[in-house]
Amino acid sequence: MAERAARRCCLGWDFSTQQVKVVAVDAELNVFYEDSAHFDRDLLEFGTQGGVHVHEDGLTVTSPVLMWVQALDIILERMKASGFDFSQVLALSGAGQQHGSVYWKAGASQVLRSLSPDLPLHKQLQACFSISDSPVWMDSSTTAQCRQLEAAVGGAQALSCLTGSRAYERFTGNQIAKIYQQNPEAYSHTERISLVSSFAASLFLGSYSPIDCSDGSGMNLLQIKDKVWSRVCLAACAPHLEEKLGSPVPSCSVVGAISSYYVQRYGFPPGCQVVAFTGDNPASLAGMRLEEGDIAVSLGTSDTLFLWLQEPMPALEGHIFCNPVGSQHYMALLCFKNGSLMREKIRDESASCSWSEFSEALRSTEMGNGGNLGFYFDVMEITPEIIGRHRFSAENHKVPAFPRDVEIRALIEGQFMAKRIHAEGLGYRVMPKTKILATGGASHNRDILQVLADVFGAPVYVIDTANSACVGSAYRAFHGLAAGTDVPFSEVVKLAPPPRLAATPTPGASQVYEALLPRYAKLEQRILSQTQGPPE
Ligand SMILES: O=C(CO)[C@@H](O)[C@H](O)CF
């Protein structure tokens, strides 16, 4: 076989819900290797579905921590068998599904420090976890703990101002509180609590990795402004928690050199740097190379917004995290549950199940839709909490139906006006340099993207985000190599393939939507007040 040319690179890992994935990225930021171990397919003995176990109560959702460990073994062995040249790896970083937690048993740090290169990880870590089934982000069994935490800090808005989010069942502080309350013995035998991201980093370090500020913002425990644990929140969740968590670190931190286990077993260079792992969404923001003023719109089953914020305005909706690549800035996530399923329903009802007819309707109706506005929530919406379909004429009168073409434009304009209004509610502002990065299924429809560009008054680019968390982690590993030199992340990733321009605002769009947006916001409040009383 021809000798492979030596190719200096960084690795990016993603310990996600359904698999562990890795990419190798060279110095020109080309992805030249990728592999994954899929839990349901490659680790059948754990019996997961979608990488998780949904418990009988229908609320508790966990994943076996040793499954994650064994998945890493599988990938490393496959890379070794493929002849991957580990000696060229300059640094590595990674991501983990957010909010999940790992409970290291007393004495585990000694095992981590003295791993034998003759054995796979999972053979050596069998007895290292006080909780074998880690709670993950799909869990919704901690409502009582959420209310206790909010009460301890003075309410939902107070908690949001402090930690970036009101209490959410999946957030780690509430999960730790539940374990302390329901399994105090396991909690007392726990010497370290990691997030999935810092757990994965610990495997590479051969010691406990600190939690990074960005993923730490998803715990309802970190003061996002001071970037320190909130003592009030820690105390409200469980005793001696600060010593079990360790101190948080900036996301760009180099947390150490790779463990000798990997040097001896796989041939990594002893100087291979481990850069703090972070959450999958912060890593995706890095992979999409979001910059100040940008917004990423993932148009999928649910629509998710990734925002870059300078001055966050914490609210009762959405989540504000410390920014993973701009240490003085923030990022926000906003989720809209009525995404592509709603678009497909209206396509079927009003465009004869045809996307081309759907697009034709958008092309044949004017920006602003003659003042007609629609709210389409066939499932209970998250942002805001409204259900049902609500249509209004230009005179703000409720109407039972729209003509087909008007219905289609009302849906799309309404979805994007909602996104702009709620993004601005968290402190986002469209700037002259703003780029909108669109991804997900609906980003293949140019006519939908045209409405997105018109509503935001900004150009829309499309990007492939298939491996965004992995690629973002590899980018962050390169950035970690520049640690201490003040080289900005944007400089490190400037060689990456640029996103493709898909739509620019139609002339006159800003006048149309700056008139329509306040009307939409007022009508949304009217629906909310009619359905659930005045907001908190
Ligand atoms: O809960 C979430 C974010 O708050 C999810 O996006 C998880 O990070 C998915 F792993």
Q: Which of 19, 214, 280 to mutate to test the pocket of ligand 1 (most atoms within 8 A of CB)?
A: 280
Dihedral sign, CA of 314, 377, 374, 386? negative
Q: Which of 136, 163, 170 to mutate to test the pocket of ligand 1 (most atoms within 8 A of CB)?
A: 170
Distance CA 446, CA 462 (A): 10
The total number of residues written for the chain in this structure: 536
Is the N-terminal amide bond of 384 cis, ω within 30° of 0?
yes
Q: How much is the pLDDT for 2?
A: 52
Say yes or no: CB of residue 99 within 6 Å of ligand 1: yes
Q: What's the token pair of residue 232?
A: 């009030």
Beta-bridge partners for 228: 223
Angle, in degrees to the nearest 10, between helices 468-481 and 280-287: 80
Non-local (6+) Cβ contacts of 130 within 8 A are: 103, 104, 105, 106, 186, 187, 189, 190
Distance CA 98, CA 73 (A): 22
Ligand 1, atom 8, lies closest to the CA of 98
Distance CA 85, CA 220 (A): 41
In this prediction the pTM is 0.95
Taking the centre of ligand 1 as the mean of its atom positions, its distance from the CA of residue 99, in whole angstroms, is 7
Alpha-carbon distances of 124 from 39, 225, 236, rounded to whole Å: 20, 39, 35
Say yes or no: CB of residue 137 within 6 Å of ligand 1: yes
Taking the centre of ligand 1 as the mean of its atom positions, its distance from the CA of residue 97, in whole angstroms, is 6
Of ligand 1's listed atoms, the one at least distance from the Cα of 98 is 8
Q: How much is the pLDDT for 465?
A: 80
Taking the centre of ligand 1 as the mean of its atom positions, its distance from the CA of residue 416, in whole angstroms, is 22
Q: How much is the pLDDT for 536?
A: 44
Of ligand 1's listed atoms, the one at least distance from the Cα of 279 is 8
Q: What's the token pair of residue 296?
A: 């990423």
Average pLDDT, the chain: 96
Say yes or no: CB of residue 170 within 6 Å of ligand 1: yes
Taking the centre of ligand 1 as the mean of its atom positions, its distance from the CA of residue 95, in whole angstroms, is 11
Q: How much is the pLDDT for 520?
A: 98
Q: How much is the pLDDT for 495?
A: 92
Taking 50 as the pLDDT cut, the residues of the chain under it are: 1, 536
Ligand 1, atom 4, lies closest to the CA of 98
Q: How much is the pLDDT for 6?
A: 76
CA atoms within 13 A on the CB side of 46: 27
Say yes or no: CB of residue 281 within 6 Å of ligand 1: yes
Distance CA 262, CA 476 (A): 20
Q: Which of 13, 14, 39, 137 to mutate to test the pocket of ligand 1 (most atoms within 8 A of CB)?
A: 137
Ligand 1, atom 5, lies closest to the CA of 98
Alpha-carbon distances of 207 from 194, 221, 260, 449, rounded to whole Å: 12, 23, 11, 47
Q: How much is the pLDDT for 534?
A: 54
Q: How much is the pLDDT for 148?
A: 98
